[in-house]
Structure 1
Amino acid sequence: MYNAVFPLLQMNPMTRLLLLLGLAFTSVARAEDVTDQRAEVLALGQLTDPPATIDAEGFDNEAGIRAIYFDGLDYEGNPTKVFAWLGLPADRTGKVPGIVLVHGGGGTASRQWVEKWNEKGFAAIAIAHEGQVERREAKRKWAKHQWPGPWRRGHYLDVDKPLEDQWMYHAVADTILANSLLRSLPEVDEQEVGVMGVSWGGVITSTVMGIDSRFAFAIPTYGCGQMADVDNHWGASLGGNRFYREVWDPVHYLPRAKLPTLWFSWPEDQHFPLDSQAASYRAMAGEYMVAQLPGMRHSSAAAWNPPDSYAFAKGVVRDGKPWIRQQDLRRESQTLEAVFASSKPLDRAVLISTTDTGFTGSRNWLESPAELEQRDGQWRVTATLPQDTTACFVNVKAGELTASSDYIEVKPEGSPK
């Protein structure tokens, strides 16, 4: 700091004043630039007109599910289309709820995922956000169609391009357009359309849920915000990425997210740590629930197969809120107490904790007993923390369903708060 300031002090007063004014102007201009860029991102929420569609040829359209393309935004001056699977429940009476499904890195729009939600009574549209279809070509890559937009370059490595040509800009726009399309169908209740994304799709979901206020619920799975300083490949790539920090980090938009949300993951995830996920759900304005499934693994099937996402969505469209909500969470010395309001009877509770430090996905997480009692219409969980606990949360079970308390970190006794 001394070496940087000393030359400034040696300048004549007028030169020093001009330099300081220039630095101040640059700082203000940069702040205005960031504000404008965020405003452009938020403007994507105005894509409320349903896009035009055409059938995608060469795909099996049986069982009420069909392959389509819908119009996306222009990319580098050229029109684009988005491949998607669109399906309605076979057994339905009146209008049905719906969901937009957003795949993870290396994936594509999945017919199977649409089928699973159709079986649960939801209309569903699964989109492919890198110009690909659900068909393998040489080297087992997904085949590209003839109207692609941008593809994902690593972790926001395309921020050198104009905002409107960046992949995340198009991924968010595609998700919003899919919402507009699904809501326009006469069979769908436009007030009951949600969004679920897995991994990179979870990042997209974490971003879009603060931009498109029409979504009735959200299920970001694994993916979240505040990833620039994470001690893994995300932090290594994003640590110096100013554009991510100032424009694309979902935490900038989550305070606008008022919709019921399920943050769905597992403590051993190697990509998205629990502290970043916690920072994301604490940033949002709406009610949320958390479900951490030990041993869940990180994959599309691991996200689709458990009953938790479907039960959450059904609870929201039926009751307007998650089936369970954390009412209180407090720690007194070595005791952790969590209080839940639940529309389902709870069977048992466990404490999940670690004595390790560092990246949460690399820590050893242990289960230990917790007491569960129902009192005054609420469910109270009490657990004793093992010695030297560094982080913890409690899980409660209602049959096959899991709900978790917020993640908390425990500082050693005597450490500064």
Structure 2
Amino acid sequence: MKKLIFFLLLSVQISHAQQKHVPVIDDKIIKVDTLLWDLKTLSKAPEIEWFDKTGNIHSLFYKGVDYNGKPTQVFAYYSNPDLLLGKKTGKTKFPGVVLLHGGGGKAFKEWVEKWAAEGYAAIAMDFSGKQEDVKAYTSPGPEQGDTDKFYKLETGSDLKNMWTYQAVANAILAHSLLLSFPEVEITKTCLTGISWGGYLTCLVGSLDNRFKAAAPVYGCAFYDESDIFKVPLEKLSPAIRKKWMKYFDPSSYMSFAKPQFLFVNGNKDRFYNVIPYDKTYKLIAETQRSMCLIPDMKHGHEAGWEPHEIRYLFESVINQAPPLPKVKQIAIKDSLITVSYSSPVSIWTADFYYSNDTTSLNETRVWNSQKVNIDPKTKILSSPIPKEGFKYGFFYLKDHRNVSASSEFIIN
């Protein structure tokens, strides 16, 4: 009898979630010869089972895509500003954000809490299949290790059993679920992810054109050129490596992306180095991308969700709030390097970072910096070219909101 009552309640929850019209992904603009993901099916809100609805952060399971022919459940945390204040969700509508963790991570309750406090309905799901604080997890998908991400493809595994396929599909389903909640404004949803979650953000943000803004942190495309990720890829046979790059590298999809993108990274990141990173953001139209290269940014989940520039970008897109500063039109002439910029708030400080170190790995590369001249009338930043020249460089600036932005990498 208890089981019958549970399933009746569950069916009511599912029906309630799907009463709201959920927009469908426009898959016609993803012009690849073979698209693994059934984007129309993934546009439908999945079935859910609430695990814990007490407190200000709720937890749930939602139905994921099949793995090895068997159904899966995905664990997630959810909250919104009303829940955070201990109120029942009312008539107020909130923008939404989907949060994608990185390698070794999980669904982070603190991350959801942070975004709910920022005014968003937020959902974070677990891609590992082993959320240690949830004992009822009985049907997970693949693990996060290199076997499920890379090597299993060499053994003839179905592409849909690979970690990337599963993670992308389940991230899109989380978005569909978020869009089905009555308190979420369907025209104001955003996406951010950290490290491997940044990689997923590049993929999901390119495939799911219902998002209005996306902020990959660290993660990028061209995995075969990464200091770190080229290692497992080089262990694959050339044919399998090519297959992985075709289906699972973001470079195959990013030219079709529709959201506004903010690329957040450090200049010395261990996993996502200068050359592939530079190639990645250039796949997105210049008018559609913003840059925030943060000098010596640490790599980690907390470090990755700290930059408030992500929220400023989202607010500028969905609520027409004042935008981030933007650096444009790099020019090198005689002994001077200049860039123009636009900013709704005056620039507080600016520096030029540069390096001639071409032999070190990205994380150990030696960088120097020098102050630059700020001309608020012409909106020009100028810096003498270092006497020793430079191989890699970028401008980094902050406005009087303490909001930072940067140029793209300048590579000689």
Q: Tell me if the contact between 2:325 and 2:404 (Cα under 8 Å) persists in the aligned partners.
A: no
Query: Which SS does the other structure have where 2:151 is aligned?
Result: coil
- Classify 1:93/1:307 alpha carbon distance in 2 versus 1 (closer, same or farther; 3 Å): farther
CA positional deviation for 1:274: 2.2
Which residue number corresponds to residue 266 of structure 2? 266
CA distance in 2, matches of 1:93, 1:52: 23
Matched, 1:248 2:243: no
RMSD: 2.2
Q: How many residues align?
A: 363
Residue from 100, 103, 106 that aligns with 2:101 = 103
Which residue number corresponds to residue 209 of structure 2? 213
Residue from 149, 152, 159 that aligns with 1:158 = 152
Q: Tell me if the contact between 2:263 and 2:290 (Cα under 8 Å) persists in the aligned partners.
A: yes
Which residue number corresponds to residue 234 of structure 1? 229
CA distance in 2, matches of 1:288, 1:93: 34
CA positional deviation for 1:321: 8.5
Give a deviation string over 1:53-81, Cα, whole Å, max 9, x none.
Answer: 10125xx8312x20101111111111101
Which residue number corresponds to residue 22 of structure 1? none
Q: For structure 1, which runs of at least 5 residues remain unmatched after alignment? A: 1-33, 137-142, 411-417
Q: Tell me if the contact between 2:324 and 2:343 (Cα under 8 Å) persists in the aligned partners.
A: yes
Which residue number corresponds to residue 148 of structure 1? 140
AA of the residue aligned to 2:362 = T
1:68-147 equivalences under 5 Å are 68-90=60-82, 94-133=92-131, 135=133, 145-147=137-139
Which residue number corresponds to residue 344 of structure 1? 345
Give a deviation string over 1:298-333, Cα, whole Å, max 9, x none.
Answer: 011111223222222222222289423333222235
1:51-66 equivalences under 5 Å are 51-56=46-51, 61-63=54-56, 65-66=57-58
1:302-341 equivalences under 5 Å are 302-319=303-320, 322-341=323-342
Query: Which SS does the other structure have where 2:353 is aligned?
Result: strand
Larger C-alpha radius of gyration, 1 or 2?
1
CA distance in 1, matches of 2:278, 2:41: 29
CA distance in 2, matches of 1:50, 1:121: 23
TM-score, length-scaled by structure 1: 0.82
Query: Which SS does the other structure have where 2:251 is aligned?
Result: helix
Which residue number corresponds to residue 170 of structure 1? 166
CA distance in 2, matches of 1:361, 1:149: 32
Q: For structure 2, which runs of at least 5 residues remain unmatched after alignment? A: 1-30
- Write out the 4+ residue segments of structure 1 that deviate beyond 3 Å after TM superposition: 34-37, 43-46
AA of the residue aligned to 1:207 = L
CA distance in 1, matches of 2:366, 2:91: 48
CA positional deviation for 1:35: 5.6
AA of the residue aligned to 1:51 = P
Give a deviation string over 1:354-382, Cα, whole Å, max 9, x none.
Answer: 11114433211111011112236xx3211
CA distance in 1, matches of 2:207, 2:293: 26
CA distance in 1, matches of 2:212, 2:44: 18
Q: Percent same amino acid among aligned pairs? A: 28
Give a deviation string over 1:269-311, Cα, whole Å, max 9, x none.
Answer: 1111122122111002361111112232001111122322222
Q: Tell me if the contact between 1:356 and 1:390 (Cα under 8 Å) persists in the aligned partners.
A: yes
Q: Tell me if the contact between 1:289 and 1:322 (Cα under 8 Å) persists in the aligned partners.
A: no
Q: Tell me if the contact between 1:260 and 1:321 (Cα under 8 Å) persists in the aligned partners.
A: no
Give a deviation string over 1:226-278, Cα, whole Å, max 9, x none.
Answer: 12023x22112223522222221101100011211111111111111122122
Q: Tell me if the contact between 1:288 and 1:325 (Cα under 8 Å) persists in the aligned partners.
A: no
Which residue number corresponds to residue 39 of structure 2? 44
AA of the residue aligned to 1:158 = K
CA positional deviation for 1:167: 0.9
Residue from 387, 402, 408 that aligns with 1:406 = 408
Give a deviation string over 1:123-152, Cα, whole Å, max 9, x none.
Answer: 10001112122529xxxxxx7820101123
Q: Tell me if the contact between 1:307 and 1:400 (Cα under 8 Å) persists in the aligned partners.
A: no
Q: Tell me if the contact between 2:396 and 2:407 (Cα under 8 Å) persists in the aligned partners.
A: yes
CA distance in 2, matches of 1:109, 1:276: 28
Q: Tell me if the contact between 2:78 and 2:112 (Cα under 8 Å) persists in the aligned partners.
A: yes
AA of the residue aligned to 2:365 = R
Which residue number corresponds to residue 26 of structure 1? none
- Classify 1:266/1:252 alpha carbon distance in 2 versus 1 (closer, same or farther; 3 Å): same
CA distance in 2, matches of 1:402, 1:329: 18
CA positional deviation for 1:52: 1.0
Which residue number corresponds to residue 192 of structure 2? 196
- Classify 1:343/1:116 alpha carbon distance in 2 versus 1 (closer, same or farther; 3 Å): same
AA of the residue aligned to 1:405 = S
- Classify 1:134/1:120 alpha carbon distance in 2 versus 1 (closer, same or farther; 3 Å): farther
Which residue number corresponds to residue 381 of structure 2? 381
